Amino acid sequence: MKLEPVIGLEIHVQLKTKSKMFCGCDTNLEYAKPNSAICPICMGQPGTLPVVNHTAINFAHRICLALNFKINKYTKFDRKNYFYPDLPKGYQISQYELPMGENGYLPMVIKGEEKKIAIERIHLEEDTGKLIHPKDLDYSLVDYNRAGTPLCEIVTKPEISSPAEAKKFMQELQLLMRYLEVSDAEMENGQMRCDGNISLRPIGEDKLYPKTEIKNLNSFKALEKALEYEIKRQTEIWERGAIPGRVVTKEIKLPLTYAIKGQKEIITDQQETMGWDENKNQTVLQRVKETLADYRYFPEPDIPPMEFSDADLKRIEKSQIPELPWQKRKRFRDQFGLVGDETEVLIQNESLANYTENVISELVSWLSSTSEIEGTTEEIWERDGGKISKMALSWVVNRLKVALDNQGIDLNNSKVGPENMAELITLVYGSRINSTTAQKILDIMVENGGDPSQIIEAGDLNQVSDKKDLSTIIDQVIAKNPEQVKEYQAGKLPLLKYFVGQTMKLSKGKADPQVIEELLIERLR
């Protein structure tokens, strides 16, 4: 029997609001002392009233628009009751049957095919505090600073078909949160947390079998590894002839009134909740989950339900959201012919993407104003747009970004503007300088700024491409190395590299290695 995994994800994203979900407490907790960013409201003291954070509502709507959700006209908050030491009120204010949005999707490209991962719902809720278990103490500590911080929970449908796909979905969602500027979504800081739901089923069936839920996966790696482990564990159970999470009781010992006449066995599906043990590299059973009824959801009596008027909804739908990662990816492919890993560097880094686009447009105007290159801006773009874009991409990602990183300079504080960068690339494109010289110029630009032609004049970096000048240098190299010339002519051809090196050295790196090689072969023959 061939089995396939069925995976759904529940993601909690911490929203970047200034204050908490229902009170004015600060959410910037990096330097806050434990239990300093709290107030009677987020501590749930009697007589206090929560007030909804408007920015959190706006952020949720932005996410709804980006992920194609149907935005609910009516929505409300509910109490989800459960006890946990870091939940000061003994309940969490969340949203149950009327979430902010329903039936969205995130478009992805899986093995070259477009796939829309369906998302069931998105709702707002508040975070809990934090428990700390110091190793040298026999009691635990609790810090309530985080209690009441706004969270947005995103629940996908069980439509993800592999651990790698789950990881990719999470990475794309993280990027989206950053594009929308609603969360930094840093997993290692707990700003984005993920629970993975997984079951297996025989290929060809569409029903769902009991799932296990793996809680609090705090890295992409943990998510992928935990799901892979569960597939292995559940496969072994299937292979034993049992179904994971399904408990079959043969003899029923129920009170008479509950027993159904003639029934010999009873099947119950358990919701197994697992944790991921990073050291042991395996999932471990934490508990068999309470059912929904155990949470005793009821409408939050202290917060009136919300209704968005038709005018509100129109305004929300028309509100501006930035170009989304997948839109940018598509546009870079269609407009510039840019795809692949280097392009992905731009998709992940908005300012680098904007910079590259500026370089490309500057580049086209530079090229059209260069005497050696024929044609108008449009003609050049028509003829060579793809090549120009790839050159710009490569110079920005592989040269400029690397040089800036080496110097610890942020692109936004860089002295190399798109116009000067474009001029430099133009010089390479028109073979005025070779790429070794260009690199030298770029290093100077990174350090001191300035435009490339001035740097060339000041530093005498013009390429020696005049064959007459080069011939003189080659004459010198040949004269200086009679032994090597004999060996080369006797058949030791790899020596050519040595002659090229010597010539480069004499030309102070200004010659084009390609041209040198051609001239040398000719002369040595």
Residues that bind Mn ion (CB under 5 A): 153
Nearest-angstrom CA–CA distance, 343 and 332 = 8
Q: Which is nearer to Mn ion, 100 or 470 (CB)?
A: 100
Tokens of 107: 């478009």
154-173 burial, b at 16+ Cβ within 10 Å, e below that, comes to bbbebbbebbebbbbbbbbb
Nearest-angstrom CA–CA distance, 512 and 433 = 8
The CA angle 191-58-354, to the nearest 5 degrees, is 70
Which of Zn ion, Mn ion, none binds 42 (CB below 5-8 Å, type-dependent)?
Zn ion
Nearest-angstrom CA–CA distance, 283 and 226 = 6
Min dist. Cβ of residue 71 to Mn ion (A): 20
Min dist. Cβ of residue 143 to Zn ion (A): 14
Min dist. Cβ of residue 129 to Zn ion (A): 11
Min dist. Cβ of residue 16 to Zn ion (A): 17
Which of Zn ion, Mn ion, none binds 23 (CB below 5-8 Å, type-dependent)?
Zn ion
Min dist. Cβ of residue 93 to Zn ion (A): 13
Nearest to 234, CA basis, from 206, 214, 248, 205: 214
Exposed / middle / buried, residue 37 (Cβ in 10 Å: 0-12, 13-18, 19+): buried
Q: Which is nearer to Zn ion, 25 or 424 (CB)?
A: 25
H/E run at residue 233: helix 220-239
Which residue, judged by CB position, is nearest to Mn ion in the bound state?
153
Nearest-angstrom CA–CA distance, 407 and 52 = 45
Q: Which is nearer to Zn ion, 48 or 162 (CB)?
A: 48
Which spans of this chain sit near Zn ion (rule: CB under 5 A)?
23, 25, 39, 41-42
Min dist. Cβ of residue 103 to Mn ion (A): 19
Task: State the greatest distance between any 2 C-alpha atoms of the chain, in Å, as a whole number.
Answer: 111
Q: Which is nearer to Mn ion, 153 or 172 (CB)?
A: 153
Q: Which is nearer to Zn ion, 23 or 170 (CB)?
A: 23
The alpha carbon of 492 is separated from its chain's Cα centroid by a whole number of angstroms, namely 52
Q: Which is nearer to Zn ion, 41 or 160 (CB)?
A: 41
Tokens of 340: 């692949």
The amino acid occupying position 482 is P
Which of Mn ion, Zn ion, none binds 60 (CB below 5-8 Å, type-dependent)?
none
Which of Mn ion, Zn ion, none binds 153 (CB below 5-8 Å, type-dependent)?
Mn ion
Nearest to 305, CA basis, from 96, 525, 12, 21: 96
Q: Which is nearer to Zn ion, 1 or 49 (CB)?
A: 49
Min dist. Cβ of residue 124 to Zn ion (A): 16
Which of Mn ion, Zn ion, none binds 39 (CB below 5-8 Å, type-dependent)?
Zn ion
